[in-house]
Structure formats: C-alpha cells, structure tokens
Structure 1
Amino acid sequence: MPEASFLDIRAKPPGPKELLARHGLRPRKSLGQHFLARYEVAERIVELSGVDKEATVVELGAGLGILTHALAQRVRRVIAYEIDPQLMAILEREAFLPSNVEVRRGDILKLDYLELSREVGQRLVLFGNLPYYLSSRLLFELYERHEAIALCVFMFQKEVVDRLLSPPGTKLYGILSVLTALLTEAKRLMNLSPAQFYPPPEVASAVIKLRFRDVDCPFDLFRLIKTAFSRRRKKLIRNLSLLKVEPGLLEVIFRELDIPLDIRAEALPPEKYLLLARRLESYKTIKELE
C-alpha cells in the first residue's frame, strides 16, 4: 500500500449499475461503454501490474471510477481522462475519488502524449479499460510516441490481446504483433469474461501489460511494417517494392540478412523487420553522402 503521507482512503465506489441508475443514465453504446463491475477485479489488475508506488499514472477513460479508485490507493497521483461529461459529473457529485486523483475531460486519441510526459516529469504510465473500437488506433498512436511511454496496462477485447502476442507464422500475426514485440515486453495479466463488466460485452476481454523498451527505431520502421503487410498474399519483397527503393537494393539486403526472397510478411520475425529498417536507413544515408 502507498505511504500514509499521500494516501487518502475513501469508501469504495458503488457498482456501475447502481451508479448509473442513481443518476438516471444508461451506458452509451456510441462510446463503447462497458464498465468494470467488481472493485476486486480492479484491485487485482493494479496488483498484477506491479506499478511503482511513487508513479504518476495517467488513466485513459475514467468511466465510473472503479479502476481510478483502485489506482489511487496504490500510487502517488492519478490523472484520469474522460470524454463523457455525464460520467465526469457523476464522479464530481459522488466524491468517492481520493484527493490524489485529478479528472480531466479529454479525447484520448487527441492527447499530446509527449507534452503530457513533460508535464508529469517522467515517461508515462498508462492504464485503461478501453472501448474496443479504438484499440488499434490508440496503439498505433502510442507506439509512434514510444519514447514518451514507460508502461501500459490496458483492458482490450481478448482477440486484440491474442493478436498483440501472436508469433510469426500464425493467422493473427500482423503489424501490431511486430510493433508490440519490438517496442515492448508484453505479458497477458488475465482474461476477463463478459460477466465482469456492465453491461456485459458480447466477447471476452483480457488485460495486457506492455513495458516499453528503449529502442532506437529507424525513421521508416512503421512505414516499412505497414507496407510489408499491405498485401498478405504477396511475397514480402514485392510488397516492400512499394517503398520505391533503388532497383535491386531489396534483393541485396535480403541476402545480407539471410531472408528468403520468397518469404511472406507473416513469416518474418520481428527482429528481422528492425534489421531491415536499419539496413535500408543506412543505405539511404550512404547514398545521401555520395
């Protein structure tokens, strides 16, 4: 538990069904709202995350405050973003969140994560029970800002977590699988049945922990990986020809890296993508110097 000097113990928040009914509201399908139903699950997620007690945590989507409250019992400070003004009003009226929580209105897809990192004075520690419809968009945004992020603990649709953890040669292996393996140490913390949420979603969920690595990413790494998977039935070298590199250069690099010329994108391990990007960058630099 956190030190008593900054711990502000408040009563546990009511369940989401009770809270919404109390204020005459329903979950908004347009925002993909499925709230954690049990406080004990939120406590378990925080415990399994191993988050540092001195950390400032940024929560993406405060919702009805169950995870927010559990985080606030563990860490020094919580900045919780919420886009729904009705939920923000509930959190303000009910006043069950401890004093080390600051709730801000904001769209998590429009946050400046680099600026937020500078504000808190550390690489970001992010938590969130995220709407399924924006999971991929958010991950791409965060991966492109990876230098500003230390840790993410997110609840996603289970299939999304399966995809993030998929190895080469499997059906789910794709762009996000490669980026996740290169940029993070990823671990599934738990699976969650629909019954753990209100209202229950139609699919199972999972919690994933992403601890970000210090990776020197070539400038074109993201474009290279997206191009590689742009046509899954084509050979990788055919897809990468869309990058408009010097004729014959791809064949040279493939041979240097011992990559078969007939390989497809889904069969190439993540580390080979990083080597490809670095080699392409080095050839580009050499050409510019000539």
Structure 2
Amino acid sequence: MQTQFLDNSIQELPFLEAEDCAMALGFFDGIHLGHQHIIRKAKEIAREKGLQFALMTFTPHPTEVITPDSTNFPYLTTLSEKVKKMASLGVEQLYIVKFNTDFCHLSPQEFVKQYLVGLRCKHVIAGFDFTYGYKGAGNMSQLTEYAQGEFEVTTVAKIERNHRKISSTLIRELVKSGRVDLVPEYLGQFYEINGQVLSISSQNGDTDSIIHVITSCFLPRPGVYTIAADINGVTYEGTCIEIHTFESHSMLVLQLDSKPPCIESSPIVIKWTCLRQEKPLLSTKPIELSSAVI
C-alpha cells in the first residue's frame, strides 16, 4: 500500500501522476463494521472496473480544528494503527489529508475539484452521512451534481445492529461507560489500546505479576476489567485493577496471570473484554512518570 500525506491544494502538489481510482471517503475512526462495509464496497467496485483501490481519510479529527479549546479528542484508533488496518483491508493507495483551517474553509465544489477530480477519482464511495466542504455543507445527494460527469457515486446505507446505527460515537459511549463486552458487536473485535510498560513486580511468588503501563489512548471508566495483554508477541491473560487519568496520559495497573520476562519499556497492546467490578480491587500510588516516554 502506498501512503501519501496531503496538506495543500492538490493543484500545488506533484500528484498529477495519480491513477484512475475508486475511492472510499471517511474519517474511519475505529474502522468498525460499518466502515468495513464501505471499504469492502469500494474494493469490489475497483476490482469490477479495473481501477486502483484508494481511500481518503483525514487528520486530526475536525473537532480539534473547529473547536480548538475542546479537550483531546477520544480517538478509538491512532493514525498509525489506522494505516496498518487499511493495508490489511487491501487498500492500494491511502491519502491522508491534513484537516486544518485552510482545508475546512474549502467549499464543497472546491473539495470535489481539488481532492476528487484532482486525484483522478472515477468512482467515489462513502456512507450516507458523509459531509464535506465548509461547515459540512456538501452531502452525498449533491455529490453527483458536483462531479459534473467526472466520476460516479455510490452511497452506502446505514448499517444497524440491535436497532442501533453502527458508529464511532456509539462505540466511544460503550467504552466510556465500561460496556466493553458489547463493543465487538459494532467494532468487530474487542477494543484495544497501545501503551508502554513502565515497571513490573512479582506477586504471590512467581505465579503472577503487577505491571504499570502508560498510555495516551481513550480508556473505559475506572473499574476492574478482564483484559488480555500482548507484549513482545506473547499474549497474557489478566486484569486491569486500576486506571489513573492525568491531563495528557493515563496510568494502568495490570495484574497478569504469569510473569513476562524483561518487558520494561516494551510496547503493549491491551484488549478489554469485560467489566468485572465497579471499584478498583486495591489502591496503589502512581509511580513517578518524569522519565517515562509516551
């Protein structure tokens, strides 16, 4: 997969060598089952028409630009993880557009001309609620008109589970409320975050261990959770027994069923499976973070 970052007008960038493509559009935070349906549809159209399979996403989230005084946006997926997932889904050309004040002031027509026609889109695929242009003035029903015959448009209808629209907002609400057990119904897998191991100590001899983890990812509310931790390619079952939230990061205290060897400073992926208890099992003092790297 080729990945290209765009932070200016297409007309000012050397991208005229772009191939004719079928392009999926969206922010795709979490890449949930609804997103995956859009991406599969775009891949199918690209294959049928002999076009390159492209996808366009944006960074940062528009909320962070439109409302700069708001708190950090609760991303379900980091940009690096999103890129990896797109590659695994078969995307051939990934465009990551910098969402800044200049970009958000583009009219719908300017967005279409510069970022769709300019990148040789021949078929555009997006969800029914995708908007574009200044204040989201452009919608999917207008896209065919703005295309002026340059490309075709496929609008993907709303996808529901349990009479609820699958959306990143819904998944964030489930995570925030602690209902991580329900997340797979909409995300397609358990919610996962990335972090870094700070320290490890034994408990009950060598049968299990306590580790401290630092992360800047969006987390469930405080409580005791059943988790699985992937460290250096090995998966350990365990429990998250404490969550400490600070201004720019959080500290997790995990109790694993076995003691991983030599894991200080190692990256860790934590999978959240269920909330077991409303309150932490024990109280520990957060360790000094001054030397930690997030």
TM-score normalised to the size of structure 1? 0.29
More strand by share: 2
